[in-house]
Structure 1
């Protein structure tokens, strides 16, 4: 059965702060992204992935959003390691969550290439990938894959604890993270996949925060 460490009084507020930051990761990321989608000329989610908001003169906004969000997910990894001391994945899950957050930090530091008419003045179609666009894609792939593996580990733990609801929830997220990209609707699919990932992040952070009492 999953247990919680008896943290010292001075460390409890710090753990709660880490979990609060993690819970806000998804809402923060999508609030920033949606604000840009509505205000930056030429952006169309049906054509341009959210990552492409990191290009152009205002691209720094999305770059910071990626890095801050990734750091908040890493905060979840740290809090999870401090709280959960027994059960399947007590060591693996924090590492995998750290990779999930780290992947987003990398994706933020290395942006995509301007293409498909965004930002205004960019080539009207796809372009050959630059080295930093390749690093961006690898970072994003690592993030979602690490989350999928973490959820698989949590499924095993939930089954051992006979928690059917938790097993189903973690399992569903793992499946979504591992779905192959659509060749025609990849931008929308990536946005929805991210929404699922961050919904899980918020819910898991809230659950851990309730345990830390």
Structure 2
């Protein structure tokens, strides 16, 4: 990013910093789940918090987090300018962010037992059908993004722990999703501990966004400092000697 105006660099840092806030999605789910006496977090999906009179909190959580991821993706595009990863990674990030927004706009259908007294629905609504199908592009885009970033970090000689962290995340994210899905019976729309595994999965997923955002932010600032130092050295070299 040689010669990049300072205002553009500041904008890039702000976009990347949005990724640092993405893990707050999980914090909101944990707090909301704890505040609702009729909601058993370990046995309920986080999206069920979008139901009931306080449902707007989880809806906003989906939408705001999706917007944060979209902003982070724009920062990634600026930071990884050039190469295949510089094109593919932001696109995958945008898909992931849009899926979060879709999860909030299209609310899940009530499940047996929640909201309190609910017996579920005999036929899924259009919104519920879209919501239930949303995890497919959600996780495919996220896992692909993790893989692409692992490849880019390895190619650029990034920190080995970061590369291996990405590799581990690419494995653990689908594994914990499978554990959560496996605990839920689609026929009865109920299950045991699927909510617990989903929270572990979301912590891994959005935690990865936060870690990568932090690394790219530090790397961008270090790069700007190195460029400023190099420019100062060149300026000193041009000072005529008496």
- TM normalised by structure 1 equals 0.88
Matching of residue 41 in structure 1 with residue 41 in structure 2: no
Q: Secondary structure at the match of 1:89?
A: helix
1:70 corresponding residue in structure 2: 66
Q: Larger % of helix: which?
A: 2
Gaps of 5+ in 2: 185-192, 222-242
Of 175, 197, 203 in structure 2, the residue corresponding to residue 189 of structure 1 is 197
Deviation at 1:204, TM superposition (A): 0.7
1:129 corresponding residue in structure 2: 124
* Cα distance in 2, alignment partners of residues 208 and 110 from structure 1: 32
Of 200, 204, 213 in structure 1, the residue corresponding to residue 212 of structure 2 is 204
Gaps of 5+ in 1: none
Counterpart mapping for 1:56-205 below 5 A: 56-123=52-119, 128-163=123-158, 164-179=160-175, 180=178, 181-184=181-184, 185-205=193-213
Give the greater-gyration-radius structure (CA): 2
* Cα distance in 2, alignment partners of residues 26 and 36 from structure 1: 15
The structure-2 alpha-carbon separation of the partners of 1:126 and 1:177, relative to structure 1 and needing over 3 Å to count, comes to: farther
Moved more, 99-108 or 5-14: 5-14
1:19 corresponding residue in structure 2: 16
Deviation at 1:127, TM superposition (A): 5.2
Pairwise CA RMSD of aligned residues? 2.0
Contact 2:34 2:41 in 1 (8 A): no
Q: Secondary structure at the match of 2:205?
A: helix
Contact 2:169 2:204 in 1 (8 A): yes
* Cα distance in 2, alignment partners of residues 160 and 31 from structure 1: 34
* Cα distance in 1, alignment partners of residues 116 and 87 from structure 2: 46
